[in-house]
Amino acid sequence: MTNADIIRAHYDASDRGDLDGMLAPLAADVRWTEAAGFPYAGTYVGPEAVAANVFSRIQEDWDDYTLAVDEVVDGGDTVVGIGTYSGTHKRTGRFFAARVAHVWRLEGGEVVAFEQFTDTEMVARALRD
């Protein structure tokens, strides 16, 4: 399994709503960075921190939150996923769609670092009353 295949498997697990599958490739000390300006901005260390501070919060805050991946770029130890986030904020009822790029860094078949780049203004508009 290539590093790109590992990331594709993560995205497939996300599509199924399979949290364990999403967390499976993450190293115990993974550094996961959500973009500044994103509602879950920050760097989280370890799969449990990612699950609690990103994935769980997304489920709590959004209806039909999805990531549609258009392309996975195989750069060996660095893999880039490109796609579109979308969803409806539960409190405001506002829908958003924003392009996104994920940069994944892998060592020995495990994700050791992740960084998200997205149009945070598109998300912020959905949060405003």
Task: Answer whether 127's CB lies under 8 Å from 89's CB.
Answer: yes
Give the model confidence (pLDDT) of 74-128 as tens digits: 999 999 999 999 999 999 999 999 999 999 999 999 999 999 999 999 999 999 9
Which domains does the chain possess? 3-127 (3.10.450.50)
Q: What is the mean pLDDT of residues 8-29?
A: 97
Q: What is the mean pLDDT of residues 44-68?
A: 97
Task: Answer whether 47's CB lies under 8 Å from 21's CB.
Answer: no
Residue 58 has pLDDT above 90, yes or no: yes
Alpha-carbon distance 126 to 129, whole Å? 8
Our measurement of the distance from residue 37's CA atom to the centroid of its chain's CA atoms, rounded to an integer in Å, reads 15
Average pLDDT of every residue of the chain: 97
Alpha-carbon distance 52 to 76, whole Å? 29
Which stretches does DSSP call E strand in 35-94?
A: 42-45, 62-75, 78-89
Residue 129 has pLDDT above 90, yes or no: no
